[in-house]
Structure 1
Amino acid sequence: MKRTFKVLNILLILVVVFTLNDNALAYEAGDYEELENIVLEQMRKYNPNFKINYTGSLDNIEEVLKNILKKDIYVNSNVSKVGWEITSNRNSSNININVSYIITPQERMEADKKIDEILSHIIKPYMNDHEKVKAVHDYIVLRGKYDTSFTYYSDYDLLVEGTSVCNGYALLTYNMLNKLNIPVKLVSGTAEGENHIWNMVKLGTHWFHLDTSWNDPLPDKGNISYKYYMLTEKEISMDHTIDEELNIPKSTKRYYDYLKELSYDKLLAETGLDMYDEVNTAKSETELISILSRKIKYRPLKISVRFDKSITQDGINNGMSQLLRNDYISVIEYCITDSDNTGEWSVLDLFIKYKETPEKIIVDFPKKVYNIASEVNFRVYAQYGDMKTDITKDVLIYPYDRNKLNVYNGTLKFKEAGNYNLLFEFQGLNETVSITGLNSEAFKYITDKKPDNYVNVKVYDQYIDFSSVNQWPIIEKGRTMVPLRAVFEVLNCNVKWEESTKSAVVEFGSTKIIIPADSTTAYINGKINTLDVPAKIVNNRIMVPLRFVSEAIDKTVIWDDENKTVLIY
């Protein structure tokens, strides 16, 4: 088991000197609360030295200063050492505070910039918050390596050096999720008796415990564990102890139950939580062999199964021997955990390597937009060099909501209209396909009434359904014009119309774009830009040049001439 470590904050000796001199100071505090607020505010700014003119009581001042860091775990996790000196006259005290941090202000800026860059690659517009949390977790666990030398402590270290102790893992998790506006907290305590820090994450109305450092196994073999992924307080407390003085939210909802309620089968399978399904729990050696045989059909890289503790090692070996009879398997590695999060079952994790790995998965859908009354037939292939093998019946498919879509053995049926992203997975490779199901009226509109020079727009892997705004993109003077809101809200932009100036306004992070109607002039953060074609109003929709706005928010635009599609990444 890896050792864990939390940065200790050392408070230097308190020195009180009485003097009649009172130098002008930058900050004023009249009581303990104001003093605490100023200190924490300056520490959040990574200020190494600051002075406070304090007019309050000096009773217990040493304890007050020592306990300030306990008020904010994030600040506490970024501070390595604190010292202070107090000089007093008859009416006030001057407190000079010196702080050493585990990261410099410049490194903080570099880390934030790198986090923004990473998130732009791993987060897709169609992801829900559950998928975003998993994407962040997987990135950190796969690319991080636990620092057994206890040299590196910050999220900057984890990003730049690729290694850190638990403090860096928890801080990086915190900062990445915070940038995604997903509620997240830091939790301090112990794990197996050693100082430790991890996170809590809120999804929907429920809080969960998440420990990215303990999900990064030692020695690092490039595997991801989900043992400490989105746990209740009861589950995390099996080997973690939360500091008593912390005021943290209650965490009682099992994540497995939550995903089942949401019908998030994809996440259940990817995190291994589907092992809590009755069909994936083996009560006997025969059931264990049956479960493994069923799961290997999709050629996953990892299989997790709960099994009764009465099943012997010989029984487990027999199950793996059955798998090795499949001539496409090269090696199976495994580990056994004595207890799952209920404490009632053991867990078998298999890590599988195959003799051949396909270069890619090819998903063949006839079209991308369908009438929901129709039944859609598709095929899926694995590409091995020049050979293409049909794996339609073997590929694992994740419809996001089974209440709205039914996918089975090469046939898709819509239950509701909407945009759907399907993930096809086979032997560690995956391919996401976006399809749109429209009701009969909307489908008739886009098939019968679209203009001759229409184009499709695809944001990442999602086709935009323009029927809802009753206006398709058009090409004008060689430029693609699109209904502004329909495209850029998918890109997480804030879009609004200013009637007083007849202008469209797009806000994305720190970028603000103003596009007046019927004008070739546009503004990016106040700077004038000239458009090749003016924005204009068509069918009460503001149409804007797609490339100009996309590139203004740092997106890549590619024209797919064969499919008459604009691709935005």
Structure 2
Amino acid sequence: MSKKILLVIICIFIMLPPVTADAQTYTSQDQVYRIIRKNLLAHKEQFSIEMNIEVMNKIGKNTDLLNKAAAIDDKSTSKDGDYLRFSVSQWTSHWQWYTNGKTALLNFSTTYRTTLKQEKELDAEIKRVIKALKLTDKSDDTKVKKIHDYIINKTAYDESLDNHTAYNVLIDQTAVCDGYSLAAYRLLTDAGIENRIITGMANGGSHSWNIVKINKKWYNLDLTWDDPITNTGEQILTYDYFLKNDRDFKNHKRDAKYRTSAFIKKYPIAKESYKLAN
């Protein structure tokens, strides 16, 4: 008797559809990428997306799902794009198929570098900093300089190499290069300055920095290297890596994806370094 009941329970369990966080069945790739983006921005650790088989076949074994979602640019926020890419520390996905043969489920598991609470605290701090810097009606180069100076004057390089986020820069006041470039990305974007985060090698080690667009030209910007570590512990603000062309931006080598002809064509670095007004 007990064996028969157990078999019935197992059969019922198999017939039940997988639990999904979103009841809608999506019918386009764009819809899927947008719902991935929505869940990532909400810092959801696990979520599932149902779609029809046609969409599943188009997406297939796409390993670029995070970049596809992050690339959907909403001008009203600085939390997507490169910031979203670097906010996710690890993600995995797997497929499930319904027995009806018409729909499939994409399941995500995600870990983040910050908590949702920290992100909300960071949002408030960024809003406060933008207001305090009085950037309204300022020229683009002035905006970049003010943000560059603010981050460097506020932040000490983290020699423990444990802190990697914009939260660490603007709240904890210590981080490695990732934190500097992420904090710059958020502040610059909210100030209306188009910019990207670039990763690569510098002096033989992994590194990240920004490129920024001023007067329709792109320039290299490395806040970390403009905040050198001194023997005395004294804080120093420099402009050795501020709005430089490639020739003057020494000892930096981009990762391959930032050296493609398509990327260079879209983000061409100016031939001359930017001249700061006295």
The two structures have a TM-score, normalised by structure 2, of: 0.76
Partner SS for 2:201: strand
Distance between the aligned counterparts of 1:174 and 1:188, measured in 2? 13
**96 and 216 in structure 1: CA distance in 2 versus 1, 3 angstrom threshold:** same
Query: Which residue of the partner structure matches residue 228 of structure 1?
Result: 241
Residue 179 (1) aligns with residue 190 (2) = yes
The one-letter code of the counterpart of 1:83 is T
Query: Which residue of the partner structure matches residue 111 of structure 1?
Result: 122
Residue 217 (1) aligns with residue 217 (2) = no
**32 and 234 in structure 1: CA distance in 2 versus 1, 3 angstrom threshold:** farther
The structure where strand makes up a greater share of residues is 1
Query: Which residue of the partner structure matches residue 45 of structure 2?
Result: 48
Task: Note if contact 1:84-1:97 (Cα within 8 Å) is conserved in structure 2.
Answer: yes
Distance between the aligned counterparts of 1:57 and 1:95, measured in 2? 8
Query: Which residue of the partner structure matches residue 6 of structure 2?
Result: none
How far 1:28 moved relative to its partner? 3.6
| Structure 2 residue corresponding to 1:243, chosen from 255, 264, 271 | 255
Structure 1, residues 135-172: CA drift from partner, whole Å, max 9, x if none? 11011112111112221111111112111111111111
Partner SS for 2:244: coil
The one-letter code of the counterpart of 2:88 is V
- The runs of 5 or more residues in structure 1 that have no matched partner are 1-18, 267-569
**182 and 93 in structure 1: CA distance in 2 versus 1, 3 angstrom threshold:** same
Task: Note if contact 1:200-1:210 (Cα within 8 Å) is conserved in structure 2.
Answer: yes
How far 1:46 moved relative to its partner? 2.2
How far 1:126 moved relative to its partner? 6.2
The one-letter code of the counterpart of 2:93 is W
Distance between the aligned counterparts of 1:182 and 1:33, measured in 2? 27
Distance between the aligned counterparts of 2:86 and 2:235, measured in 1? 27
Partner SS for 1:245: helix
Residue 152 (1) aligns with residue 170 (2) = no
How far 1:181 moved relative to its partner? 1.2
Partner SS for 1:185: strand
Query: Which residue of the partner structure matches residue 272 of structure 2?
Result: 254
How far 1:197 moved relative to its partner? 1.9
Query: Which residue of the partner structure matches residue 178 of structure 2?
Result: 167
Query: Which residue of the partner structure matches residue 509 of structure 1?
Result: none
The one-letter code of the counterpart of 1:48 is E
Distance between the aligned counterparts of 1:104 and 1:29, measured in 2? 28
The one-letter code of the counterpart of 1:161 is D
Report the RMSD for the aligned CA atoms in angstroms.
2.5
Task: Note if contact 1:31-1:57 (Cα within 8 Å) is conserved in structure 2.
Answer: no
The one-letter code of the counterpart of 1:22 is P
Partner SS for 1:196: strand
Partner SS for 1:95: strand
Task: Note if contact 1:85-1:96 (Cα within 8 Å) is conserved in structure 2.
Answer: yes
**147 and 52 in structure 1: CA distance in 2 versus 1, 3 angstrom threshold:** same
Query: Which residue of the partner structure matches residue 487 of structure 1?
Result: none
Structure 1, residues 209-263: CA drift from partner, whole Å, max 9, x if none? 1111121102352111211111123433x3222233242510124234xx3xxxx
Partner SS for 2:146: helix
Partner SS for 1:265: coil
**20 and 34 in structure 1: CA distance in 2 versus 1, 3 angstrom threshold:** farther
Distance between the aligned counterparts of 2:223 and 2:252, measured in 1? 13
How far 1:20 moved relative to its partner? 5.2
How far 1:192 moved relative to its partner? 2.9
Structure 1, residues 380-405: CA drift from partner, whole Å, max 9, x if none? xxxxxxxxxxxxxxxxxxxxxxxxxx
Partner SS for 1:113: helix
Structure 1, residues 506-562: CA drift from partner, whole Å, max 9, x if none? xxxxxxxxxxxxxxxxxxxxxxxxxxxxxxxxxxxxxxxxxxxxxxxxxxxxxxxxx
Task: Note if contact 1:40-1:68 (Cα within 8 Å) is conserved in structure 2.
Answer: no
How far 1:120 moved relative to its partner? 2.3
Between the two structures, name the one with larger relative contact order (CA 8 Å, sep ≥ 6): 2
Task: Note if contact 1:214-1:228 (Cα within 8 Å) is conserved in structure 2.
Answer: yes
The one-letter code of the counterpart of 2:235 is G
Distance between the aligned counterparts of 2:56 and 2:220, measured in 1? 40
The one-letter code of the counterpart of 2:209 is W
Aligned residues: 239
The one-letter code of the counterpart of 2:256 is E
Q: Which has the larger radius of gyration?
A: 1
The one-letter code of the counterpart of 2:84 is V
Distance between the aligned counterparts of 1:143 and 1:215, measured in 2? 13
The one-letter code of the counterpart of 2:168 is D
Query: Which residue of the partner structure matches residue 99 of structure 1?
Result: 110
Task: Note if contact 2:248-2:273 (Cα within 8 Å) is conserved in structure 1.
Answer: no
Partner SS for 1:40: helix
The one-letter code of the counterpart of 2:181 is A
Distance between the aligned counterparts of 2:137 and 2:38, measured in 1? 36
The one-letter code of the counterpart of 1:241 is K
Residue 82 (1) aligns with residue 91 (2) = yes
- The runs of 5 or more residues in structure 2 that have no matched partner are 1-13, 71-81
**46 and 234 in structure 1: CA distance in 2 versus 1, 3 angstrom threshold:** farther
Distance between the aligned counterparts of 2:192 and 2:159, measured in 1? 32
Structure 1, residues 17-38: CA drift from partner, whole Å, max 9, x if none? xx65434641544465543343
Query: Which residue of the partner structure matches residue 9 of structure 2?
Result: none
Residue 265 (1) aligns with residue 262 (2) = no
Partner SS for 1:230: strand
The two structures have a TM-score, normalised by structure 1, of: 0.39
Task: Note if contact 1:123-1:135 (Cα within 8 Å) is conserved in structure 2.
Answer: no
Structure 1, residues 396-448: CA drift from partner, whole Å, max 9, x if none? xxxxxxxxxxxxxxxxxxxxxxxxxxxxxxxxxxxxxxxxxxxxxxxxxxxxx
